């Protein structure tokens, strides 16, 4: 058998962001022998980069807020494609998870009377994001990490999982390699929780870091699990556009929540021209009223600068395409003329330093140039709302890698509460599943040999393709043909290009040896990147309408019938297939919450 080290656990959690840490804490608390595996250093997941806050209807700033309003906002923001039960669970449990974080030591910004302060974000009826300036993710990860370390959970960092192992139909473990030494390792475990985050590195302009190559999505697909809503890729409206080296880096929605407004090159607040019917009643249609909302939030209608992300991203796209963009192809985000310097530096310290250091722009004096950036994956592993179990026994998923909670468009702040709520549930149910087994599954040694051979193939002298060139071409293809606005012709062309890229990837070659070799790591990441790109493209072809993040130029309207349908992607006999499947209808009591709105 290929040389490798071997470990025995009850639950292996792949990914150490908010979802993975929360899952591992819960599994360990249930008495399961738990491993936490992550590709980078512990503490350096996407969650640490989260800026704006955690959405939870605590009702601290607006007493009228409660889970019902949060439920309604999330479903409307997701353009009704969400798994309604997940939305209900998240809205109901998020406040407890935030308070639990506080008990574990998180220090949030406070209201004057000492409660957790909450900030405004797009699509939320009330200010409901618990935050720490614009560095909320750092506080969340710090707190969870301390808690996990005190629980004595075994951590394997700088370790990439490349394949899940099965014994017949059920999960038997996971296989991967140490990034530093290149040596292989095997986890024997009956339950695996995927918490691997997003897919942003499939696109040219993204807020995501190098780690987000869709590994968990691909691991689940290859293990036979269903993926849903893969067509729904969120482009955040405000990423940096200049200088080119920082293009895509996120500019938090908190800038608009705290008073910033969007303007085009003519100085117009163009968002007034893009208010969709669904949000008209509660959105201001004059500048005076929108500005009044910043001071009189109880009574005035909300500013259109804070419409849900899909609406704002599309509007910016139109402004720049029609020639009203800024010099570097974005629009202006202006807080300098609306808030004093002391306020900006206190509320948005990271944004202030980010622009000063990376773009030589002082945001207390000048407007920022911003444009859409690939940010978040709504689609992912199909899970049971109560348990986070996938369609493969023993496989669970939570956080960004799981699909369903956010429908066709995620509201800002809803990811962080999703991680806490569903991370806990995934850990709990994975531990229960492992405890309930009468016999542990076993791993086939032949499979280990095959996986090791496959992983080492890029060192084969017969190959000729450079992994960096393939990734760059993939990012160009996805950006140009499967981006914010899509058409059947372009999607079909993308599939042809992806097939060619797959072929090139089968001939990839890397130099050097297995010890810390980033070229080899990328060569292995190409597998997931290409797999998720194909899933996104096929699902986008199947959804013949425009809904949330899926905008089809050839099907520009929303088809009410398709709100009930998920596009499911699966790979069960080697071939990728798609199916349109109907979801259970919204129960009357929950439907009424929407109607009342």
Binding mask 209-248 for ligand FAD (x = CB under 6 A): --x---x---------------------------------
Region near ligand FAD per CB under 6 A, out of 45-53, 338-346, 438-446, 539-547: 45-53
Nearest to 556 by CA among 501, 505, 486: 486
**Catalytic residue (one of 135, 236, 263, 538):** 236
Tokens 């689609």 map to which residue?
Answer: 379
Q: Which backbone phi and psi does 352 adopt, to 5 degrees?
A: -60, -50
List of E strands, 315-441? 331-334, 368-377, 380-381, 395-397
| Total of residues contacting ligand FAD (CB under 6 A) | 40
Strand partners, 164: 174
Give the integer Cα–Cα distance in Å for 39 and 45.
9
The verdict on 94 binding ligand FAD (CB under 6 A) reads no
The verdict on 133 binding ligand FAD (CB under 6 A) reads no
Give the integer Cα–Cα distance in Å for 241 and 233.
19
Tokens 């087994």 map to which residue?
Answer: 437
**Which residue from 145, 414, 533, 546 is in contact with ligand FAD, where contact means CB under 6 A?**
414
Region near ligand FAD per CB under 6 A, out of 195-203, 340-348, 425-433, 444-452: 195-203
Token pair of 578, please?
């798609």
Least Cβ distance, residue 355 to ligand FAD (angstroms): 14
Give the integer Cα–Cα distance in Å for 19 and 418.
8
The verdict on 407 binding ligand FAD (CB under 6 A) reads no
Binding mask 459-488 for ligand FAD (x = CB under 6 A): ------------------------------
Of the two residues 161 and 331, which places its CB atom closer to ligand FAD in the complex?
Answer: 161
Q: For this structure, is 454 an active site residue?
A: no
Give the integer Cα–Cα distance in Å for 385 and 390.
10
The verdict on 18 binding ligand FAD (CB under 6 A) reads yes
Helix (H) or strand (E) holding 416: helix 414-435
Chain residues 53-92 in contact with ligand FAD, contact rule CB under 6 A = 53
Q: For this structure, is 479 an active site residue?
A: no
Query: Under a CB-based contact definition with an 8 Å cutoff, are residues 27 and 11 in contact?
Result: yes
**Which residue from 27, 52, 388, 523 is in contact with ligand FAD, where contact means CB under 6 A?**
52
Query: Under a CB-based contact definition with an 8 Å cutoff, are residues 24 and 148 in contact?
Result: yes
Give the integer Cα–Cα distance in Å for 482 and 537.
7
**Catalytic residue (one of 46, 70, 256, 339):** 256
The verdict on 145 binding ligand FAD (CB under 6 A) reads no
Chain residues 509-568 in contact with ligand FAD, contact rule CB under 6 A = none
Give the integer Cα–Cα distance in Å for 425 and 405.
14
Q: What is the DSSP letter of 206?
A: B
Ranked by CB distance to ligand FAD, the top (closest) residue is: 17
Task: Name the site residues for ligand FAD (rule: CB under 6 A).
Answer: 14-20, 37-40, 45-47, 49-53, 136-137, 160-161, 195-197, 207-208, 211, 215, 250, 376, 399-400, 412-416, 419
User: What positions carry a catalytic annotation?
Assistant: 236, 256
């Amino acid at each position: 058998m290929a040389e490798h080290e071997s470990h025995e656990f009850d639950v292996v959690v792949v990914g150490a962001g908010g979802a993975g840490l929360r899952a591992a804490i819960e599994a360990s608390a249930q008495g399961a022998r738990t491993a936490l595996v992550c590709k980078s250093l512990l503490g350096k997941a996407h969650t640490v980069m989260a800026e704006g806050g955690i959405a939870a209807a605590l009702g601290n700033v607006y007493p009228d807020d409660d889970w019902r309003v949060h439920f309604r906002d999330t479903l409307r923001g997701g353009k009704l494609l969400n798994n309604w039960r997940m939305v209900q669970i998240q809205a109901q449990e998020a406040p407890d998870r935030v308070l639990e974080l506080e008990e574990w030591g998180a220090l949030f910004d406070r209201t004057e009377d000492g409660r957790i302060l909450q900030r405004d974000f797009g699509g939320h009826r009330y200010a409901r994001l618990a935050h720490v300036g614009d560095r909320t993710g750092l506080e969340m990860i710090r707190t969870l990490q301390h808690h996990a370390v005190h629980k004595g959970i075994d951590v394997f960092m700088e370790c990439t999982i490349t394949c899940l192992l099965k014994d017949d139909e059920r999960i038997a473990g996971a296989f991967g390699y140490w990034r530093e030494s290149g040596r292989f390792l095997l986890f024997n475990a009956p339950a695996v929780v995927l918490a691997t985050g997003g897919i942003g590195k499939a696109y040219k302009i993204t807020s995501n870091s190098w780690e987000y190559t869709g590994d968990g999505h691909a691991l689940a697909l290859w293990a036979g699990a269903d993926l849903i809503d893969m067509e729904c890729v969120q482009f955040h409206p405000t990423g940096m556009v200049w200088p080119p080296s920082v293009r895509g880096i996120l500019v938090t929605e908190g800038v608009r929540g705290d008073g910033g407004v969007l303007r085009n090159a003519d100085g117009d607040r163009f968002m007034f021209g893009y208010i969709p019917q669904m949000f008209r009643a509660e959105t201001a249609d004059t500048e005076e009223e929108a500005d009044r909302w910043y001071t009189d939030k109880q009574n005035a209608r909300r500013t259109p600068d804070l419409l849900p992300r899909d609406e704002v991203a599309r509007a910016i796209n139109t402004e720049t395409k029609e020639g009203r963009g800024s010099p570097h192809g974005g629009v202006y985000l202006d807080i300098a003329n609306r808030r004093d310097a002391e306020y900006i530096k206190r509320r948005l310290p990271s944004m202030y330093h980010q622009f000063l250091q990376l773009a030589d722009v002082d945001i207390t004096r000048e407007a920022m140039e911003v444009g859409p950036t690939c940010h978040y994956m709504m689609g992912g592993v199909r899970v049971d709302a109560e348990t986070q179990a996938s369609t493969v026994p023993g496989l669970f998923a939570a956080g960004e890698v799981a699909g369903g909670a956010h429908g066709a468009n995620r509201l800002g702040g809803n990811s962080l509460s999703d991680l806490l709520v569903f991370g806990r549930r995934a850990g709990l149910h994975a531990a229960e599943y492992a405890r309930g087994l009468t016999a542990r599954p076993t791993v086939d040694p032949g499979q280990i040999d095959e996986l090791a051979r496959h992983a080492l193939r890029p060192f084969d002298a017969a190959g000729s393709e450079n992994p960096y060139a393939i990734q760059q071409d993939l990012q160009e293809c996805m950006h140009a043909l499967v981006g914010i606005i899509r058409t059947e012709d372009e999607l079909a062309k993308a599939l042809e290009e992806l097939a060619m890229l797959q072929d090139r990837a089968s001939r990839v070659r890397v130099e050097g040896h297995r010890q810390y070799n980033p070229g080899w790591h990328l060569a292995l990441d190409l597998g997931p990147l290409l797999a998720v790109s194909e899933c996104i493209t096929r699902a986008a072809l199947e959804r013949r309408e425009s809904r949330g993040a899926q905008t089809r130029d050839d099907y520009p309207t929303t088809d009410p019938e398709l709100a009930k349908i998920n596009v499911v992607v699966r790979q069960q006999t080697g071939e990728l297939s798609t199916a349109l499947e109907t979801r259970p209808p919204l129960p009357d009591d929950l439907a009424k919450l929407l109607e009342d709105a």
